[in-house]
C-alpha cells in the first residue's frame, strides 16, 4: 500500500482551540459569568473579576493560534488588570486573532457549577460573549452542568468552565 503524502498546509484555514479554567467561590466577591452579574451569596476569587467562563473562552481563542494563554497576556501581578471586567480581556484577545487574519467561526462552552442555577442567565451571557467575539448568537453556545454534588465544583468550593472554538481565516 502506498503512503499518501501529507498535503496539509502548515497554516490551514481552520484552527481549533480549547480552554479550561477554575476559580474558587468565596464570600464578599461578585459572581460574574460570561460578563453577566449573577445574584448569589458568593463570588469567584481572582485578580480580574474572576469570570471563569470568559477566561476559558479567551484561552480557547488564544489556543487555536498557539498564542499562549491569558495568564501570559494579562499577568495577575499587573495592577493594570486588577478587578478588570474580563469581557475587555476577551475583546483584546479577539483583536489579536483578527490581526493574524482569523475570525471565530463558532464557540461551544460549558459552565460547571452546583449553585446557583444559571439557566435563566445563559441567553444574556451568549449575548455579551457574541458581542465581544464579534459573532452572531447562533455561533456561540453556552451550556451549564453540575457534577452531581461531587468534587470541588459539586461541593460549592469552585466554578469551572471549558470551551472549544473553531477559527477560520478570512
Ligand atoms: Mg481565570
Q: Which residues in 14-95 belong to E strands, given as ranges?
A: 14-26, 31-33, 36-38, 43-44
pLDDT number for residue 2:
60
Mean pLDDT over each residue of the chain, to the nearest integer: 95
Distance 134 CA to ligand 1 centre (A): 21
For 23-66, the pLDDT digits (tens) are 999 999 999 999 999 999 999 999 999 999 999 999 999 999 99
Mean pLDDT of 78-99: 96
For 102-138, the pLDDT digits (tens) are 999 999 999 999 999 999 999 999 999 999 999 999 9
Distance 6 CA to ligand 1 centre (A): 37
DSSP 100-163: TTEEEEEEEEEEE-SSS--GGGHHHHHHHHHHHHT--GGGEEEEEE--TT-HHHHTTSEEEEEE
- The confidence band for 1, taking pLDDT boundaries of 50, 70 and 90, is low
The yes-or-no verdict on residue 158 having pLDDT over 70 is yes
The yes-or-no verdict on residue 86 having pLDDT over 70 is yes
pLDDT number for residue 16:
97
Protein residues with C-beta less than 5 angstroms from the ion ligand 1: 21, 55
Distance 150 CA to ligand 1 centre (A): 21
Contact 163, 109 (CB under 8 A): yes
The yes-or-no verdict on residue 8 having pLDDT over 80 is no
Distance 115 CA to ligand 1 centre (A): 18
The 10 Å Cβ neighbour count of residue 112 is 23
Amino acid at each position: 500500500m502506498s503512503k499518501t503524502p501529507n498535503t496539509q498546509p502548515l497554516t490551514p484555514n481552520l484552527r481549533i482551540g480549547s480552554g479550561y479554567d477554575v476559580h474558587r467561590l468565596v464570600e464578599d466577591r461578585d459572581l460574574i459569568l460570561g460578563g453577566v452579574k449573577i445574584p448569589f451569596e458568593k463570588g469567584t476569587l481572582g485578580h480580574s473579576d474572576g469570570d471563569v467562563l470568559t477566561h476559558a473562552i479567551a484561552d480557547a481563542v488564544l489556543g487555536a493560534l498557539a498564542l499562549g494563554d491569558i495568564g501570559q497576556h494579562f499577568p495577575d501581578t499587573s495592577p493594570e488588570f486588577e478587578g478588570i471586567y474580563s469581557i475587555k480581556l476577551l475583546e483584546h484577545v479577539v483583536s489579536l486573532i483578527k490581526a493574524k487574519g482569523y475570525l471565530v467561526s463558532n464557540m461551544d462552552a460549558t459552565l460547571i457549577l452546583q449553585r446557583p442555577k444559571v439557566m435563566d442567565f445563559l441567553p444574556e451571557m451568549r449575548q455579551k460573549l457574541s458581542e465581544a467575539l464579534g459573532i452572531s448568537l447562533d455561533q456561540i453556545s453556552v451550556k451549564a452542568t453540575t457534577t452531581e454534588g461531587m468534587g470541588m465544583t459539586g461541593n460549592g468550593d469552585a466554578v469551572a468552565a471549558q470551551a472549544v472554538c473553531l477559527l477560520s481565516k478570512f
